[in-house]
Amino acid sequence: MTSNFDAIIIIGAARPALLSPRASPKPARPSPSSSKLFGGTCVNTGCIPTKTLIASAHAAHLARRAQDFGVHAGPVTVDMKAVKARKDAISGQSRTSVENSLDNLDRCTVFRGQARFESPTTVRVGLHRDAHGNDPHSDPHADQVLLSAPKIFVNVGGRATIPDLPGVHDVPILTNSTILDPPLGRVGLTETEVRAAGRPALIATHPMSKVGRAVEKGETQGFMKVLVDAETKRILGAAILGASGDEAIHTFLDIMYSKAPYTTLQRAMHIHPTVSELIPTLLGDLKPLT
């Protein structure tokens, strides 16, 4: 028997899962399963757990630098079991939130299992049973379900490509996560890409040592960079490597999305003291890219 939907979305988590939005107002049939890890790489092995580990490392780093801030502390030790337990708890809470939000989404039915195309409009799903061997759906004897929809979206992510360069296979390669402290926020084209395009452009760079908030925190490593189209005055790309760079970069992102000229941002009044307040100054120092 085939179940018909308006659309099917195949999503890749730690193992494949499948989400099928219904068009009818009939409530979704939640099908909880303890064997699935919702949230994909970001929640389970990427963004959230790595940034949680960085937070612990940063706390230890600050504790060891306490004297630089006029604070006297004893020897600093790190309990890696406790660090991992904190990481697991935060990642687990986020994963549970994602799963619950999908299970309770109106007009949506979640199927947990391995999806396989039977035709351009049909997908067969091998269901995952729970820890007690029970089928998560209404038919206790069904190991598979056949789903059909006129639109099927395959959102399973991808794997990083390793370039064929001399010696690249002789060293360990990290292909899925970027762990930086200070953080890097980047959007749009890089300087190399702008040069390769041969378009007239403007560029400005400032060290983070000129940012008051960075100086106050004792985190002056890094820099800001922005590239602007010399003719349209639109921002082509920007990068902030330094304290709160992954947050402040959204200032550039919003202007780029709105297709406004860089002067809109240059004339803005930002709150002091913040990392973002140096951005108008940065844009005021634009020079031709040569």
Exposed/middle/buried for residue 201 (C-beta within 10 Å: 0-12, 13-18, 19+):
buried
Each residue's pLDDT tens digit, 130-160: 545 554 444 444 578 899 999 998 887 777 6
Concatenated DSSP letters for 3-57? Answer: EE-SEEEEEESSSEEEEEE-SSSSPP-----TT--TTHHHHHTSHHHHHHHHHHH
The DSSP symbol for 146 reads E
pLDDT at residue 226, rounded to an integer? 98
Average the pLDDT over 28-57 and give the result. Answer: 72
Average the pLDDT over 197-223 and give the result. Answer: 94
Each residue's pLDDT tens digit, 165-208: 787 677 666 555 566 788 899 999 999 999 999 999 999 999 99
**Residue 48 CB contacts under 8 Å (≥ 6 apart), including other chains:** 42, 90, 91, 94
Residue 27: pLDDT over 70:
no
Average the pLDDT over 7-36 and give the result. Answer: 48
> Which domains can be identified in the chain, with CATH numbers?
2-155 (3.50.50.60), 184-288 (3.30.390.30)
Cα(94)–Cα(236) distance, integer angstroms? 34
Structure tokens at 14: 């730690």
Does residue 182 have a cis bond before it (omega within 30 degrees)? Answer: yes
Structure tokens at 277: 């307040």
More confident residue, 223 or 99: 223
